[in-house]
Amino acid sequence: MKTVKKILKRFGQGLLVLLLLIGGFCAYVALTPPRTYDPPVAPDIKVEVTEARIKRGETIAQLQCIACHGDNDNRLTGKHLDDIPAMFGNIYSRNITQDKEKGIGNWTDGQIIYFLRTGIRPNGSTAFMPQYGLMADEDVKSVVAWLRSDQFPVQPSRKEAPPAEYSFVAKMLMWTIIKPGDYPEQTIELPDSTKSAAVGKYIATAVADCYGCHSADYLDLDKQNPERTKGYFGGGSKFNGLDGKPILSANLTFDEETGIGKKYTKEQFIRAVKHGVRPDGSVLRYPMSPMVALSEKEIAAVYDYLKTVPKVRNDIAGKSAELQLAEK
Ligand code: HEC
Ligand code: HEC
């Protein structure tokens, strides 16, 4: 009897210590700025700015950077990101024009590349921003070439957005599931342009981030091995629509009943992705934006790739109907 009591007492003390530790950790996360890391050693890369790279970099910027960093003045001066749910705080993107003080004019090419790959700034702080860990070296260099070019959106501007205010939830996520990416150890080559499905996979995972929105949860991705992401391309990730109501991403696997297997021909798919119109004429809603920057060939390649992705049965229409009911 005595030993049982003793064990229980020990257990109780252990639990108390554990609770204190958890409580202390939560308080620490809540009271300190977002997690930082040791200032990284950025690679020694100097990007040669060529016309071809500027053009390619502009395409990638149109698919990625401009939506988040472009302000009303058409420059990348940073702004409030209205789409990010309030539970994560008040998030502002930053000025990434060539201004040396307010922008990133003083960053080296290597520092920009390191940040785009990992999400870690030269001073070791992190940003709530997508990481481009799988993008080919050549494409990352093109982004840098575009940032250094004489294009209007990146010309120096001293305008500035307020600093981002991260909520406890966001900071906790940065200690747990949202981690910096690893800097790739080897060069990442562009896919073989004669293999359509390979090109499609590259676009869908490394450049246009289709999988990030079209899997089960945009916060829970396997960034190193996208195909291992939960519900890969089965849709159902929940976003805020423009009307403030929740909206679920579509199932893009070729499942005949709940995916796009029977719903879309290749031509119809191209039209939907490039111009935002479904085969029945209905318009795709925000945050699914028409991707004019992608060529028809690239979108066809994504279609060819999706055909090879394991089918997922996930009835988005049914789930959306349930959500609407729950809202009312
Ligand atoms: C989903 C929105 C989003 C996209 C897409 C995005 N960014 Fe960002 N970016 C942010 C946010 C938000 C921050 C700042 C967060 C903070 O202050 O903690 C940021 C910060 C940065 C910074 C750090 C600047 C500084 O002064 O600290 C750089 C550089 C940057 N982004 C470049 C890019 C480039 C280049 C692209 C396109 C390849 C891009 N971003 C795409 C949201 C985005
Ligand atoms: C920012 C998140 C986001 C990104 C990135 C994104 N999508 Fe979407 N997509 C959505 C959402 C949300 C919907 C649902 C729109 C609706 O119901 O009106 C959708 C709908 C679609 C549809 C319509 C499917 C149907 O059932 O009719 C297609 C096709 C599609 N996306 C393809 C793509 C492709 C290809 C890419 C990458 C090139 C991509 N999406 C990138 C969020 C995204």
Per-residue pLDDT of the chain (328 residues; tens, 9 = 90+): 667 788 878 888 888 888 888 888 888 788 777 889 999 999 999 999 999 999 999 999 999 999 999 998 889 999 999 888 888 999 999 999 999 999 999 999 999 999 999 999 999 999 888 899 999 999 999 999 999 999 999 999 999 999 999 999 988 888 887 889 999 999 999 999 999 999 999 999 999 999 999 999 998 899 889 999 999 999 999 998 888 889 999 999 999 999 999 999 999 999 999 999 999 999 999 999 999 999 999 999 999 999 999 999 999 999 999 988 777 6
Task: Round to whole Å and give the CA distance between 306 and 134.
Answer: 18
Relative to the CA of 166, which ligand 1 atom is closest? 18
Task: Round to whole Å and give the CA distance between 163 and 93.
Answer: 8
Q: pTM of the entire structure?
A: 0.92
Task: Round to whole Å and give the CA distance between 234 and 251.
Answer: 4
Centre of ligand 2 from the C-alpha of residue 201, in Å: 15
CB hemisphere CA count around 186 (13 angstroms): 3
pLDDT of 84: 84
Which residue bears the tokens 């996520």? 173
Q: Is 252 near ligand 1, meaning CB less than 6 Å away?
A: no
Domain boundaries of the chain, sorted by first residue: 51-175, 196-327
Which residue bears the tokens 């040669």? 48
Which residue bears the tokens 């890369």? 45
Which residue bears the tokens 């000025």? 95
Angle at 22 between CA 17 and CA 28, to 5 degrees: 125
Dihedral sign for Cα 223, 228, 232, 236, please. negative
Centre of ligand 1 from the C-alpha of residue 69, in Å: 7
Pocket test for ligand 1, best of 69, 77, 289 (most atoms within 8 A of CB): 69
Q: Tell me the residue type at 307.
A: K
Give, rounded to a whole angstrom, the gap between the first and last alpha carbons of the chain: 56
Instruction: Indicate which residue's Cα is closest to atom 22 of ligand 2.
Output: 250
Q: Token pair for residue 147?
A: 């940032």
Task: Round to whole Å and give the CA distance between 71 and 161.
Answer: 10
CB 91 within 8 A of CB 84: yes
* Ligand located closest to 301 CA: 2
- Total residue count of the chain as it appears in this document: 328
H or E stretch including 274? helix 266-275
CATH of domain 51-175: 1.10.760
Instruction: Indicate which residue's Cα is closest to atom 24 of ligand 1.
Output: 94
Centre of ligand 1 from the C-alpha of residue 94, in Å: 6
Residue 197's φ and ψ, nearest 5 degrees, are -65, -35
CB 117 within 8 A of CB 188: no
CB 180 within 8 A of CB 101: no
Pocket test for ligand 2, best of 68, 214, 305, 307 (most atoms within 8 A of CB): 214
